[in-house]
Amino acid sequence: MSTQPSTTTSTPAGTPFAGGTILGYPRIGRRRELKRALEAHWAGRTSADELEAAARELRLATLRRLVALGLDPADGSVPGSFSSYDHVLDAAVTLGALPARFGALSSDVAALRDGGTGVPSSTYFALARGTQDAPPLEMTKWFDTNYHYLVPEIGPATTFRLTDDRVVREHAEARAEGVVTRPVVVGPVTFLLLSKAEAGAPAGFRPLDRLDDLLGAYAALLQALATAGAPWVQLDEPGLVSDTLVAAAGATRAEVAQAVTRAYTALAGSTASGEGRPKLLVAAPYGDLSRPDDEADVLGALARTDVEAVALDLVRGSVPAGPVPGLDRKTLVAGVVDGHGVWRADLTSKLDLLEGLAERTGAGAVVVGTSTSLLHVPHDVDDEEWDGPAAARAGRSPALRTWLAFADQKVREVSALARGLALGRDTVARELAEATEALASRAVAPGVVVPDVRARLAALDDSSFTRGAHAERVAEQRARLDLPPLPTTTIGSFPQTTEIRAARAAWTKGELDDDAYAAAMRAEVERVVALQEELGLDVLVHGEPERNDMVQYFAEQLDGFATTQLGWVQSYGSRCVRPPILWGDVSRPAPMTVEWASYAQSLTSKPVKGMLTGPVTILAWSFVRDDQPLGDTANQVALALRDEVSDLEDAGIAVVQVDEPALRELLPLRRADQGEYLRWSVGSFRLATAGARPATQVHTHLCYSEFGDVIGAIDGLDADVTSLEAARSRMEIVPELRAAGYARGIGPGVYDIHSPRVPSVDEVTELLGLAVRSIDPGLVWVNPDCGLKTRRYEEVTPALRNLVEAARSARESLVATAR
């Protein structure tokens, strides 16, 4: 570490983004303006023009904010990263990759060069949300984040062409406001790695095989942006750092390196930049592009092309071991400020890393950036209240405030580091000292280390993670529950109505007392239980009306967490979440769910599930402390949940569901790191559930990920029943389960709840048929893909009625076949 302040300039004159840059910024708005605009439009209350006007105002507000925070408005330092729904969907419609199954919606869109006017918003949202005749594009997790992207469908006949120029129009819009943005587009190699083969594609077809055909559309886009005056374009290539994505695409890293060479030789060309195209910044966030074990040398392949800049993630990734040939002709955007977490950066250590980085890597110049887009963090720490009774109840404190950096604070960190790198440490001495002081105060703050919690962890042994034999449990559970074949259930939540939200808001503000709020929630539980009985579901839920969010609800009741008022982060489309902040050792002061599960069970003779969120998901959907191993934190949460399971059993609850929808989400992108992750993640779930009695049926739920990589881990959870997302993918997981010899209860989802569509009885029956033809029908459960919180009763009630009817029909077929 440097001990003397530097006063020399480390950034050569003329370096782009010399004041620092970021790879992207939150797009939902500081008060979720985009969410409200989208949902008003979908509800028919506003026109497409009114939606676009709201989006435009949000984009312009972002530009103004980023310039005020210190980004240069004139050189492309400000990213143009807005999306009305999803950036992968944006790329698909820009490049003409509209699936043929959408019929006229796809065929009626003309290429811009053929006189087309772009993709209308009705078509754009049909791809995202579906129509009654066409299910939406499949949705899955974006690398190891809780953001969901829409999966493009590519076939041998997909015609790539510049079909929409929204990205060009938005750049022109910014220029008119005096800000020269750097448009951000998903890069061609990653776009194809993220895509799936269109239905009907021949066996062995890979979207990556269409790379050369796709590049013409990218070249046309770059030419259009050059004409509009864009000096730089950012092409995001996170697929280059992910072993799992590459393998899922049926490719090798050597093939990816070859694809990078072909793509960026073609797009960058051999001519000087600016002659027919903007300069190119290729970003590789979310992992390590310069890892020493990469025999394919994907970074080297990229460096040898004529792109002008490369952005590396130096939070998740590593500094190249030595000079990279070709990097001497490029600017290295050093992603040293974490775009994925909320903890304040150690600016001194970051500046230590930056100084001399050009010499160590051979880069022509080094500038400061974020490791990823800031899409994954809230807008601004200063939006929150950090003092007073309400803040204290939420676990927020003035001290915690000093430990954190949301998006705006991260932009300031980038700017401070850029000044220190260019002008010397003495120019940012105050910022360095404040960051160091905050880090020191965090380390010794009360609650960060709790001796009793540490002692309980230390006392664990192998028996703490082991339940009784599965076959013996099955026999006891069947005797206790007496369920029919193909039992029906839901995943947990029911619609959060306007009345529920209004009651919670009034209670939070102190306008509704505790007794009145509890009465309102009990009334909703009564409604949900009665509806399920009327529909004929077999295993019921209480509907979770009292829960604002499946993670935040528990964070509010566990020590070691803080929750925010305005810390919203986009999950997908208009769906936003407020990840809690896990800052200290975790423990459970009191039962969290027993009252609600017990009340629901008192209303029915059918079994009611106790509903918990698992330790891995609580970590994945929180901003987790970075000062101890994740496995240790997961086990602290697991012990709190273990106590809750025991209390639910004592209250007579026969089925307990511990949801782990994020199990696959946190899987490291590098194969070499996955074994250790699966060891502690599976272990924490088992720690939470291993104390359950043999007659208690333990369920878990996983959704919106590619599960093939973790089937062994799913089995290792030792849950009695696992429900999985499967409707949008049309049961793609089922053959993999059969091949793996999976022999536990399984509920592949037959109702896609992330779309407003109501599936017909025939549609559900078809999906259920695919399941029972591949899996022992005695193991199959019938359920939606996910919880119903975001849907309306007008959609949910008929959909569940169709689900129950399809299950009854399938049971009759099984009985007839048995005869």
Residues 621-661 have pLDDT tens digits of 999 999 999 999 999 999 999 999 999 999 999 999 999 99
Is 50 exceeded by the pLDDT of residue 8?
no
- pLDDT, residue 188, reads 98
Residues 189 and 143 sit within 8 Å (Cβ to Cβ): no
> What burial letters (b/e) apply to 782-793, b meaning 16+ CB within 10 Å?
bbbbbbbbbbee
Alpha-carbon distance of 31 to 688, in angstroms, equals 36
Averaged pLDDT for residues 429-442: 97
- pLDDT, residue 7, reads 40
CA-CA-CA-CA torsion sign (191, 197, 202, 204): positive
- pLDDT, residue 273, reads 46
- pLDDT, residue 726, reads 81
pLDDT tens profile 478-527: 999 999 999 999 999 999 999 999 999 899 888 999 999 999 999 999 99
Alpha-carbon distance of 582 to 592, in angstroms, equals 17
Coil, strand or helix: which one is 515? Answer: helix
Known catalytic residue: 754?
A: yes
Residues 79 and 181 sit within 8 Å (Cβ to Cβ): yes
Nearest to 55 by CA among 27, 92, 13, 76: 27
Tokens matching residue 639: 């012990």
Alpha-carbon distance of 483 to 539, in angstroms, equals 8
Q: How many CA atoms lie within 13 A of 287 on its CB side?
A: 28
Averaged pLDDT for residues 102-122: 66
Averaged pLDDT for residues 566-591: 96
pLDDT tens profile 212-234: 999 999 999 999 999 999 999 99
Alpha-carbon distance of 549 to 596, in angstroms, equals 15
Mean pLDDT of the chain: 93
Alpha-carbon distance of 386 to 403, in angstroms, equals 12
Task: Output the CA torsion 92→94→99→101 (10° steps).
Answer: 130
For the ranges 117-121, 139-143, 587-591, which has the lowest average pLDDT?
117-121
Residue 815's pLDDT band (cuts 50, 70, 90)? confident
In DSSP terms, 366 is beta-bridged to 332
Coil, strand or helix: which one is 723? Answer: strand
Residue 132's pLDDT band (cuts 50, 70, 90)? confident
Alpha-carbon distance of 735 to 724, in angstroms, equals 13
Residue 100's pLDDT band (cuts 50, 70, 90)? confident
Task: Look at 102 and 83; give whichever has higher pLDDT.
Answer: 83
Task: Look at 111 and 373; give whichever has higher pLDDT.
Answer: 373
Tokens matching residue 622: 């929180």
Is 50 exceeded by the pLDDT of residue 3?
no
Residue 192's pLDDT band (cuts 50, 70, 90)? very high
Task: Output the CA torsion 148→151→152→156 (10° steps).
Answer: 160
CA-CA-CA-CA torsion sign (423, 429, 435, 436): positive
Provide CB contacts within 8 A for 216, sequence distance 6+. 160, 161
Is 60 exceeded by the pLDDT of residue 390?
yes
For the ranges 339-353, 468-482, 504-518, 697-711, which has the lowest average pLDDT?
697-711
Nearest to 567 by CA among 143, 37, 28: 28
Which helix (H) or strand (E) is 234 found in, with range?
strand 232-236
Distance (Å) of CA 468 to CA 82, 449, 471, 718, 796: 51, 33, 9, 10, 37
- pLDDT, residue 240, reads 98
Residues 750 and 725 sit within 8 Å (Cβ to Cβ): no
Alpha-carbon distance of 658 to 698, in angstroms, equals 7
| DSSP character string of 516-580 | HHHHHHHHHHHHHHHHHHHHT-SBB--B-TT-S-TTHHHHTTSEEEE--SS--EEEETTEEE---
For the ranges 248-252, 290-294, 641-645, which has the lowest average pLDDT?
290-294
- pLDDT, residue 127, reads 94
Is 80 exceeded by the pLDDT of residue 293?
yes
Q: What percent of the chain has pLDDT over 70?
A: 95
Pinpoint the alpha helices (H) of 228-284: 243-248, 253-268
Amino acid at 586: V
- Strands 139-141 and 148-150, by their bridges, are antiparallel
Alpha-carbon distance of 301 to 326, in angstroms, equals 9
| DSSP character string of 383-450 | GS--SSHHHHHTT--HHHHHHB--HHHHHHHHHHHHHHHHH-GGGGHHHHHHHHHHHHHHHT-TTSS-
Alpha-carbon distance of 385 to 83, in angstroms, equals 29
- pLDDT, residue 111, reads 53
Residue 604's pLDDT band (cuts 50, 70, 90)? very high
For the ranges 130-144, 633-647, 674-688, which has the lowest average pLDDT?
130-144
Alpha-carbon distance of 449 to 586, in angstroms, equals 9
Residue 6's pLDDT band (cuts 50, 70, 90)? very low
Residues 665 and 141 sit within 8 Å (Cβ to Cβ): yes
Residue 733's pLDDT band (cuts 50, 70, 90)? confident
Task: Look at 510 and 437; give whichever has higher pLDDT.
Answer: 437
Coil, strand or helix: which one is 597? Answer: helix
Q: Active site residue: 340, 376, 542, 754, which one?
A: 754
Residues 750 and 807 sit within 8 Å (Cβ to Cβ): no
Greatest alpha-carbon pair distance for the chain in Å reads 88
| DSSP character string of 138-171 | PEEE-TTSS-EEE--EE-TT--------HHHHHH
Coil, strand or helix: which one is 370? Answer: strand
Averaged pLDDT for residues 265-291: 84
CA-CA-CA-CA torsion sign (53, 58, 61, 62): negative
Alpha-carbon distance of 591 to 608, in angstroms, equals 18
Residue 784's pLDDT band (cuts 50, 70, 90)? very high
